[in-house]
Amino acid sequence: MVPVIVAHELVWFLEGMGLEDRLGDITAYSQHRRAEVVYDCGDHITGAIEVLKKEKTPRFGL
């Protein structure tokens, strides 16, 4: 389970990037990673955000 404060920060980040509709994808990615290897939840979120950045960043010119 993602700690509440981290979950709120993640939602804030996604809303700020216009990606709040992708929260389900991040949740699924996190659960998939947790099933493979148990890491600190920050690693799950960081990995999921990196996937989104690779996919969506050009849209924001970053």
**pLDDT for res 31:** 72
**pLDDT for res 59:** 54
pLDDT bin (cut points 50, 70, 90) of residue 1 is very low
- State the total domains in the chain: 1
pTM for this structure? 0.36
Domain limits at 42? 4-60
pLDDT tens for 4-59 read 556 677 777 778 878 777 777 777 777 766 655 555 566 667 777 777 777 655 55
The structure tokens listed for 3 are 């700690």
d(CA 39, CA 18): 28
